[in-house]
Each structure stands twice: as structure tokens, then as C-alpha cells.
Amino acid sequence: MATRQPAPASTEGLTVIGPHLHVNGRIEGEEDLRIEGRVEGSVSLTETLYVAEGGVVAAKVAARDVVVSGVVVGNVSATNSVTLNAGAKLVGDIATPRLIISDGAAFRGNVAMDGEAPAPAVRTQAARVRPRASVLSRPAAKPVVAPPARPARKAPPAPAPAPARVAVIQASDPDQDEKTIVVRHAALEEKAKTADNKKAGKKKAKKSPPRARVPKPGKRRVGRR
Amino acid sequence: MANTVIGSTIVIDGEITGDEDLVVQGTIKGRVSLRENIVVEESGVLEANIETSTITIHGTVTGDIQASERAELKSNCHVVGDIRAPRILIADGASFKGNVDMEG
């Protein structure tokens, strides 16, 4: 008993799954959990989950904070933060408002940090949708667009596409990344279109010469003669 | 040796296997299979079939217990299930319902 009592006292308030233990199933709780062993199934906590070095978690994880120094395979969702320390290995999707990945950590999967700023996320979606819509609507003004498209990138004086592009830039102003992407997309579309127009023009040009050459079949006539 | 502690608000539903001491303050449902010692604290609840070397129960256990060395039921514990162990200690004040098999 004398040796037994200090151990629970020192780890009071901290649940530990030891290094030689294997839990297969569901773990739920309202306190910190430190995993040094192996856990499969699901882990759901209202506090912090520590996956210690040597700990292996093959489970769906939901907690307030998740601190990984070991291995996690499965989707991780945290209401506050996810921390991947050096030596950590995580394969799965992460959903958290705050994500810290240290040098030496390995991670493969998707990250969703929607919780932090939901408003910008909505705006970026709007910004992504709008340029496509404007691109689609552009063919109506096709003949006018083709020549002034490139100057329009520097200063947008072009009549039809200019308002759409300005609106896009304003909408995506909060996050610079989206802006550049959107502008590039628009530019690419315009290049593609001008190229198409040129091709179309060339085709027409190619078509017309044969008509002009129509007299050449005269050779055949000559041959017939 | 690093003890495994299942804290008082933790609920584990499933299977625990391993090779080290386990202190249960919370709830475990399912199956526990260890080669070391289990201590069920007063707040601990085990609703599981248990295989272990020794088990000391201060809390509540529902399920069959198979201990290769010793099963100890402390006062104020509640145990429902069959116990199979070469040495079984039941303290005054313990509550127990089930069969006892001490032939090992």
C-alpha cells in the first residue's frame, strides 16, 4: 500500500494509458488523458488529450486540446487547438481553430480551421463563385472583350468585364491569397479566350483561301482538256 | 513503472489488454485482460469480465473475475459476478453476490 498510494496521488487528475496497455473501444471523459500505449476506436474528451512519445492512437479523436508527440492515425477534431510536436506523426484530417505544427512533425491530411474565422471563409467562397459567374457571363461581350482584355488587367477601363472584376477584388480583399488566385484565374481565362478567338480567326482565314483557290481546280479542267 | 490510471470522469467502452498495473477511478465497460495488478478505487466502476493476476476492489465491479493469484474485496466494495482465484480475501463490510471458485 505504501508504494501504491504515491502513484495515484502524483497522477491525480491525469488519466494515463500506460505504454504496455492496449485499449480497443471508446474512451470518453471530462479530464486530461495521456496516452503512452495503444488506443483504437474513438476518444472523446472535454479537456486535453496528450499522445506521448511511443503512444499510438488509431482512433477518431475529439477533445478541447490535442497535443501529439506520438502517432495518431484518424481524424482529429479540437475545439481549441491541435499541437504536433517534433517527432509526432499524424495521418488524418484536422479540424481546429488553432493548429501548431513543430519542425520535425509529420502530417498528412486535410486541415479545416473554420472555427477561427467563419466570416472570411464565407467570403472566400463567394469570391470563388463570383469570378466563375463573371467568366461565364463574359461570352456575351466576346467581340469587345478580346482586344482590351490584357490592358484591363493593369487598369480596368473595359466596359463589360471591368465591373465584375472590381467586385471580385473588393470581395476578396480581406484575404490576399484569394485575390491573387482570382486575378490569375481571370487572366488565364482571358488568355484562353483571346487564343480561341485567334484560332477561330485563323480557321476562318484558312477556310477563305480555298475559296480563293477555287480557280485552281482549273488545273483539273486543264487535265480534262 | 508507469501505472495506467483511468481517472474518475473517464468512461472506456471496449477492451483493455496489456501488461502493466491498472488503477481504475472511472468507468470501464467491456473486457479487461491484464497480466498485472488491477486496483478499483472507491469511485471506480468495472462492468466487465476481468482476467488479471491480482485485483483489489474498493469500488464496484459487475462481471466475472478471474485472477491467477489473488482477488481482494475491500470494505465498502460492491461485487456482482463469479470470482475464480486461488486466494480470495473478503473484508468486513464488503458486498458480494456470485460464485467463488478457489481451486484455481
- The single-letter code of the amino acid at A66 is V
Percentages helix, strand, coil for chain B (3-state, rounded to 5) are 0, 60, 40
Residues whose CB falls within 8 Å of the CB of residue B60, separated by 6 or more in sequence, listed in order: B40, B44, B45, B46, B77, B78, B79
The pLDDT of residue A195:
56
Q: Give SS3 for A225.
A: coil
Low-confidence ranges of chain B (pLDDT < 70): 1-2, 104
In a mutagenesis test of the B interface, which of A14, A16, A21, A28 is the best target, namely the one with the most B β-carbons within 10 Å? A21
Q: Count structural domains, chain B.
A: 1
Of the candidates A103, A104, A107, the one whose C-alpha atom is nearest the C-alpha of residue A66 is: A107
Residues of A within 8 A of B10 (CB-CB) are 15, 27-29, 31, 33
Asked whether B57 and B73 are in contact (CB, 8 A), the reply is yes
Residue B82's pLDDT is 94
Four-point Cα dihedral A76, A78, A83, A88, nearest 10: -20
Distance (Å) from the alpha carbon of B24 to chain A's nearest alpha carbon: 9
Cell numbers describing residue B8: 474518475
- Which pLDDT value is given to residue A22? 94
Minimal C-alpha gap between A38 and chain B (Å) = 10
List all residues 6 or more positions away from B45 whose beta carbon is below 8 Å from its beta carbon: B24, B26, B27, B28, B59, B60, B61, B62
Q: Chain B: nearest CA to A15, how far in angstroms? A: 5
Whether the CB-CB separation of A153 and A169 falls below 8 Å is answered with no
- Helix axes of A161-171 and A118-137: crossing angle, nearest 10 degrees: 170
Is the Cβ pair B14, A29 closer than 8 Å?
no
Calpha distance A163→A174 (Å, rounded): 19
In chain B, residues with a C-beta closer than 8 Å to the C-beta of A41 are 14
Cβ <8 Å between A18 and B12: no
Interface predicted TM-score (ipTM): 0.85
- Triad B17, B23, B25: Cα angle to 5°: 115
Q: Are strands A32-35 and A14-17 parallel, antiparallel or unpaired?
A: parallel
Residue B19 · residue B2 · CB < 8 Å = no
State pTM to two decimals.
0.60
User: What is the residue range of B17's domain?
Assistant: 4-101
Task: Identify which of A16, A20, A22 has the shortest CB distance to residue B5.
Answer: A16
To the nearest whole Å, the CA of A189 is away from the closest chain B CA by 56
Neighbouring C-beta atoms of residue A37, cutoff 10 Å = 26
* A143: Cβ contacts below 8 Å, ≥ 6 apart: none
How would you write the pLDDT of chain A (225 residues) with one tens digit per residue? 333 333 333 445 578 999 999 999 999 999 999 999 999 999 999 999 999 999 999 999 999 999 999 999 999 999 999 999 999 999 999 999 999 999 999 999 999 987 544 333 333 344 444 444 444 444 444 444 444 444 444 444 444 444 444 444 444 444 444 444 444 444 455 555 555 555 555 444 444 455 545 555 545 554 444
The pLDDT, as a whole number, for residue A182 is: 43
Q: What is the pLDDT of residue A14?
A: 78
Chain A nearest-CA residue for B40: A8
Instruction: Output helix, strand, coil percentages for chain A, rounded to the nearest 5.
Output: 40, 30, 30
